[in-house]
Structure 1
Amino acid sequence: MSQYLAHYPEQVRTQVAALLEAGTLGNVLARRYQAQHDIRSDKALFDYTMALKNRYLKRSEPLSKVCFDDKISLRQQALGLHTAISRVQGNKLKAKREIRIASMLKQVPEPLLRMVVVHELAHLKERDHNKAFYQLCCHMEGDYHQLEFDLRLLLTAIDAGQSPF
């Protein structure tokens, strides 16, 4: 069974295993999400991310960079990364905040991309995956948990060669 669903109840994993065995998991996701998004460039991703940040996190630290990254590996179970790079300029310490999104997310429906962007934006306020972090994610995206599950299903389908997108 998929590493992406390891923490879900046995009943859920059994249902997913049945869909995989029948070769229909990709079809289920294709019916749920009709089309891929058209955010293909780093500039488009930056604008998309900033629109969400400005709507929900106006007072959070500014972002200096948002980009797609070919080096982010799903083997590390990462779809996005957030970093704070501190540099000394003169006698001041300057911090730059960056968000990097796995390039494979160029090929997914917009709600699944939004879930990852929301996740990384939430790290601007909450560093750890705690209750406050997930409350913030749900505030920015009401269907956060369903979208996270669906993205895990998609990753499982991709691993099984059943990608719908």
Structure 2
Amino acid sequence: MHTLLRYIHGYPVNIVEQVSGLVERNQLIPWFEQRYPTRHTIQSEKALYDYAMAIKNQYMKKTAVVSKVVYDSKIHLINHALGLNTAISRNHGGKLKAKNEIRIASVFKHAPEPLLRMLVVHELAHLREKNHDKAFYQLCCHMEPDYHQFEFDARLFMMVNELKAQQVKAQ
């Protein structure tokens, strides 16, 4: 079980103990599913792009253009991340043109909408703030007031997915 707790490493001991207790009593999955009974319907990459652009246009109109927003099945495995924001510069006729791309781990294709929103907000915030500093998190909370709760819940979502996979293997 301690490998599951890697998702919440760094949180206060009392929170880790609460989550650990839910896991030990086989209650984390039902608790999570009661908290988040539905999943979002944003399945296509066009829908994901439109979703991200709606948030960007509401809160960050004057930031860099985003050329692509996609689900990526390789993110979690390779980068130990849930999303990536990349800027690619290309030379076009002596001028540098930047293309910003956002990639969301494909596991979030089946997540509750608030958790997807938190990831999109996180990656959009990187357009303005490159580092995970105070200004970055202030921007995230401006776009999503419950950002920190949803970030924690996204970690629980990853734990729930692993527990479900273990249950399938055991059958």
Same fold at TM > 0.5: yes
* Structural mapping, 1:101-112, within 5 Å: 101-112=104-115
- CA–CA separation in structure 2 for the residues paired with 1:158 and 1:17: 15
Give the TM-score of the pair, scaled to structure 1: 0.95
Aligned to 1:156: 159
- CA–CA separation in structure 1 for the residues paired with 2:153 and 2:77: 16
AA aligned opposite 1:133:
F
Matched, 1:136 2:139: yes
* Structural mapping, 1:53-92, within 5 Å: 53-74=56-77, 76-92=79-95
- CA–CA separation in structure 1 for the residues paired with 2:66 and 2:113: 21
C-alpha spacing 1:38/1:81, structure 2 compared with 1 (3 Å): same
State the shift of 1:56 in Å.
0.2
AA aligned opposite 1:129:
H
Higher relative contact order (CA closer than 8 Å, sequence separation 6+) = 1
AA aligned opposite 1:13:
V
Aligned to 1:114: 117
C-alpha spacing 1:75/1:18, structure 2 compared with 1 (3 Å): farther
* C-alpha contact 1:20 1:157 (8 A) present in aligned 2: no
Superposed CA offset, 1:99-150 (max 9, x none): 0111110111100000000000000000000000000000000100000111
C-alpha spacing 1:86/1:37, structure 2 compared with 1 (3 Å): same
Matched, 1:37 2:37: no
Give the TM-score of the pair, scaled to structure 2: 0.91
Among candidates 50, 54, 59, match of residue 51 of structure 1: 54
AA aligned opposite 1:101:
I
Indicate the structure with greater helix content: 2
Aligned residue pairs total 163
* C-alpha contact 1:73 1:102 (8 A) present in aligned 2: yes
AA aligned opposite 2:88:
I
Q: Please give the root-mean-square deviation of Cα atoms over the aligned residues, in Å.
A: 1.4
Among all aligned residue pairs of Structure 1 and Structure 2, give the percentage whose two residues are the same amino acid: 55
State the shift of 1:72 in Å.
1.0
State the shift of 1:90 in Å.
1.1
Instruction: Give structure 1 stretches of 5+ with no counterpart.
Output: none
